């Protein structure tokens, strides 16, 4: 039997979501479908603790609250003003784990390189994120989400 990772009970948020209940188990693949404006992204933001529910409960098991990878809905849209490279975007996931002065470990670097090769973006390491195609940007953001080896991966309207 797979272990329960997240349980949502009677979740409400303003007038957008009403009485949502669900369970997410290890190994589950879940799709949330609905019309535009139906609250899909709001539910994702509640699961990520970006928003607080009006009422109801979200319970996290096995300390996964900090082990959720996330690729946002508009991750591939940039205006070109932010001059970050692919490598900088991917490594930015470590900002919460490290101070400005702590370097990323060799093991973390090796894993980043493994993921970049697996998603066929290793040759884009020094390219500016804003100059990539939409598909390349999507792969960069997926790699960024996978770098911390999440137990849950949330993709909000992925273009894959």
Q: What is the pTM of this model?
A: 0.80
Q: Of all helices (H) and strands (E), which one includes residue 115?
A: helix 106-118
Q: Strand locations in the chain, DSSP E? A: 4-13, 17-25, 55-60, 68-71, 152-155
Instruction: Kindly report, residue by residue over 52-75, the tens digit of the pLDDT.
Output: 999 999 999 988 877 898 888 776
107 sits in which H/E element:
helix 106-118
- DSSP run (H or E) holding 57: strand 55-60
Measure the CA–CA gap between 44 and 144, rounded to whole angstroms.
Answer: 18
- Kindly report, residue by residue over 109-140, the tens digit of the pLDDT: 999 999 999 999 999 999 999 999 888 998 99
């Amino acid at each position: 039997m797979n272990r329960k990772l997240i349980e949502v009970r009677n979740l409400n948020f303003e007038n957008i979501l009403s009485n949502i209940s669900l369970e997410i188990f290890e190994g589950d693949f879940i799709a949330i479908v609905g019309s535009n404006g139906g609250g899909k992204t709001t539910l994702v933001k509640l699961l990520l603790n970006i928003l607080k529910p009006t009422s109801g409960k979200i319970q996290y098991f096995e300390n996964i609250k900090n082990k959720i990878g996330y690729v946002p809905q508009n991750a591939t849209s940039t205006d070109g003003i932010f001059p970050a490279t692919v490598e900088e975007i991917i490594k930015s996931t470590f900002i919460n784990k490290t101070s400005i002065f702590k370097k990323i470990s060799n093991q973390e670097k090796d894993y980043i390189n493994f993921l970049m090769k697996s998603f066929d973006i290793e040759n884009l390491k020094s390219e500016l994120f804003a100059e990539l195609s939409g598909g390349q940007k999507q792969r960069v953001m997926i790699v960024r989400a996978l770098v911390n080896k999440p137990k849950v991966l949330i993709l909000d309207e992925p273009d894959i």
